[in-house]
Structure 1
Amino acid sequence: MTRETKLILCPVNLRHAKVDTAAYDEAVEMARRRNARLIVATVAPEIERNLNIYDSNKYWSGELEKFLAAHPAEGVEVTLMVRKGAVHRQIVKLASEQKVDLIVIESANPRIQDYLLGTTASHVVAHAECSVYVVRK
């Protein structure tokens, strides 16, 4: 029996979003095909390295909105979320809290060519309670 997928989580690393949107593109297409809702989330650092960012939530929410404007998910209901903390832990926690059916995540940081699966994706695959679809680069 096929599992019903109604809610998909796609974490986006906004520092690399200009480099590669393959996981996001895949998540949007999956949401369209399955008539599912999509949560697009980013995880901000606990302490900003850029001292010009006074309100981290406001800044990253704005960046996420810019990302969505540049990459519209036409025909898909999208919710944007910003979390703070360790990326791998926050993705798993958010998926659990929101009771998502599927996480669509990139395999690795674009700068890490030596690994088949990045540490964030590995942690999510190992600890998520839902299915995880890993998009290879």
Structure 2
Amino acid sequence: MKKRVLVPIDLSHEANFDLIFSATTTLARRHDATLHVLTVVPTEISVWPYVPQSFAGEAQKLAESQLEELARLEYADDIRWTSEAVIGPIAATIVQRAEDVRAGLIAIASHDPRMRDLLLGGTADRVLRRTRCSVLVLRHGEGWEWC
């Protein structure tokens, strides 16, 4: 069976792009894994006041094209990957997509927690607590090189 890694990407947090793409490239090469790159468009945008009904679908299409373009730029030709954008609650959607694609690992970047994240839990924390597969949480730090 092929090894699969789910790679959730927050397109609004460019600071983690180098970290997540470097780490998942190394994982894919060392373990002959296929990467499934995912971005989640939050369900909440469809319930904002004065937002047209078509906004969520348009946001999903835009996110999907941005994610695909980003993955093409970041992954070399020897890396097998697929990409998709999904509308839903972020952490729950990541967990569900990991099950759907039969991922053995979720490689997720975590940014510095804000006060509300400390009280409610950040996305990486919620994914870690709810999924059945292994989770690699990547944070910027000193002394670790993925390349």
Distance 1:39 1:100 in 2: 8
Give unmatched runs, 5+ long, in structure 2: 141-147
Structure holding more helix per residue: 2
Aligned positions of 1:3-82 closer than 5 A: 6-17=3-14, 19-21=15-17, 22-46=19-43, 47=45, 55-82=58-85
Distance in 1 between residues matched to 2:38 and 2:85, nearest whole Å = 6
Contact 1:5–1:101, Cα closer than 8 Å, also in 2: no
Q: May I ask how many residue pairs the two structures share in their alignment?
A: 130
Question: Comparing 70-79 with 88-97, which one deviates more in the overlay?
Answer: 70-79
Shift of 1:72: 2.3
Residue 86 of structure 1 is matched in structure 2 by 89
Report if the CA contact (8 A) 2:109-2:139 is conserved.
Answer: yes
Q: Which amino acid letter does the alignment assign opposite residue 8 of structure 2?
A: P
Structure number with larger C-alpha Rg: 2
Please list the CA deviations of residues 64-98 of structure 1 after superposition, one character each: whole Å capped at 9, or x if unmatched: 12211331243111000111111111100100111
- 2-side partners of 1:107 and 1:59: how far apart? 23
Asked if 2 retains the 8 angstrom alpha-carbon contact of 1:24 and 1:104, the reply is no
* CA deviation map 1:29-85 (0-9, x unaligned): 101110010001100123267879562332111111221133124311100011111
Structure 1, unpaired ranges of 5+: none
Distance of 2:61 and 2:110 partners within structure 1 = 28
Task: Give the TM-score, by structure 1 length.
Answer: 0.81
Superposed counterparts of 1:56-135, under 5 Å: 56-108=59-111, 110=112, 112=113, 119-135=122-138
Distance 2:69 2:123 in 1: 24
Cα RMSD, aligned residues only: 2.6
